[in-house]
Chain A
Amino acid sequence: MTNQPETSAGEEKTNGFKITLDAWAVALALVLALLIRIGLIKQVPW
């Protein structure tokens, strides 16, 4: 049962600035939270 490991560090280098996968995930979550807070996303059904 193998999860093919991704050997690169999941980082994107832009002009020497590293953006990790964690940072992208946190950024997406915070943006969505902000959109919900200011009312642009009214309701998320499940």
Chain B
Amino acid sequence: MASSIALESPHSQPLPLFKRTFALLPGIVLLAAVGYAGKFIERSIAAYGKSHHLTLPNIEYVLWAIVLGLVIANTIGIPEVFRPGLATYEFWLKAGIVLLGARFLLGDVLKLGGVSLVLVAIEILVSLTFMTFLGRAFGLKPKLTTLLAVGSSICGVSAIIATQGAIDADEEDSSFAIAAILTLGAISLFTFPLIGHWLHLSDTAYGLWAGLGIDNTAEVTAAGALYSDAAAKVAVLAKTTRNAMIGFVVLGYALYWARKEGTNRAGSKAAFLWEKFPKFVLGFLLISALATAAVFSKPQLTSLGNLSRWAFLLTFAGVGLRTNVREMWKQGARPFLVGAVGEIVIAFLTLGLVYGAGRYLQ
């Protein structure tokens, strides 16, 4: 479920805590610099348009941060000293999502939850089945197929990392599955808002579609934020519901592969499920419950919401900075083709689901 931010010495002895923390700083500073540059560009363009009475497209900091990071990573490159800190981008993502709970009153969560849960269940079942079929049809390795199926049906990088550990998949398989999911997520970032505007989707419908159709939480949040603030909230909510299923699906695959390979993954199923369950979902619900119970004043809720924006600013910079376009092309086309075909079909399927559920949406 998580990226490691722990460092080890060349002799595999864990470094002292303060050294590990210190080693994270350069990368975190780079995340902040790139993210803030994205915010600065957004503000500068808006200010230029206002002062010159021009109507310029409002490109959010989200996209600028990702593009800036991507350009830096794939031209100048990322020196080794920055890498440990860059790996914290998933930490900021999760902390940001927990803080985002302040912007969701539990009543809203429950209201959307019923519809979302049904759609999420359908999306997961169909995605797993379809991706497994595609992987077999294209002759991919079974474990790579499993990783692609889990990554595209649940929660992208997190699910792939969790599943890799659970089924003992090869590093190369998870690396490619992550590459495919992130590439397609980056493409979704541009295409989903365009299609949403073209179809005149409401904020709720678009947010739900983004939350169901895009796989990695960072890209879901970004695609939602590119459409509107309200759409971002719904997108994160739908995605959070998907994320909550990760434990069950990973457990299912772990048991399947354990039985198939004759290995015995000892321990109780409940303990395994808990280990794989994304804990930040509970944090999100807790903050949301506190906000619903009026524990925070309105200015305090605004402050919490702003904190989540700062955390996301680091996250989106990290998504761009950790993207290596050249590595992707070395991997070959077949797995990417499976991912692409699967993602396009799933995107249309989820769009159909959202249309079908339209009358039940706000």
Contacts and interface: CB of A to CB of B under 8 A. Distances in A.
A3 B91 contact: no
Contacts of A8: 4, 6
Contact of A25 (B83, B174, B280, B295): B280
Interface stretch (B120-128, B129-137, B175-183, B190-198): B175-183
Contacts of A9: 1-2, 4, 165
A46 interface: yes
B343 interface: no
A10 B323 contact: no
Contacts of A28: 95
Nearest to B180: A1
B172 to A, nearest CB: 10
B290 to A, nearest CB: 7
B324 A1 contact: yes
B214 interface: no
B300 interface: yes
B303 A43 contact: yes
B94 A21 contact: yes
A5 B172 CA distance: 10
Contacts, number: 136
B325 interface: yes
Given A1-B186, A5-B171, A33-B304, A46 B5 contact: no
Contact of B3 (A10, A12, A36, A41): A10
Given A1-B323, A6-B4, A22 B280 contact: yes
Given A1-B328, A26-B280, A33 B99 contact: yes
B334 interface: no
Interface in B168-217: 171, 174-175, 178-179, 182-183, 186
Contacts of B186: 1
Interface in A11-39: 11-12, 20-26, 28-30, 32-33, 36-37
A6 B161 contact: yes
Nearest to A8: B4
B182 A1 contact: yes
A10 B304 contact: no
Contacts of A30: 98, 283, 286-287
Interface stretch (B48-56, B306-314, B349-357): B306-314
Given A2-B178, A26-B283, A44-B310, 18 more contacts: A1-B324, A2-B175, A2-B323, A2-B324, A3-B182, A5-B175, A6-B87, A7-B4, A9-B165, A10-B5, A11-B6, A21-B91, A25-B92, A26-B282, A29-B99, A30-B98, A32-B304, A41-B303
Closest 5 A/B residue pairs (Cβ): A10-B2, A21-B2, A26-B283, A29-B98, A25-B94
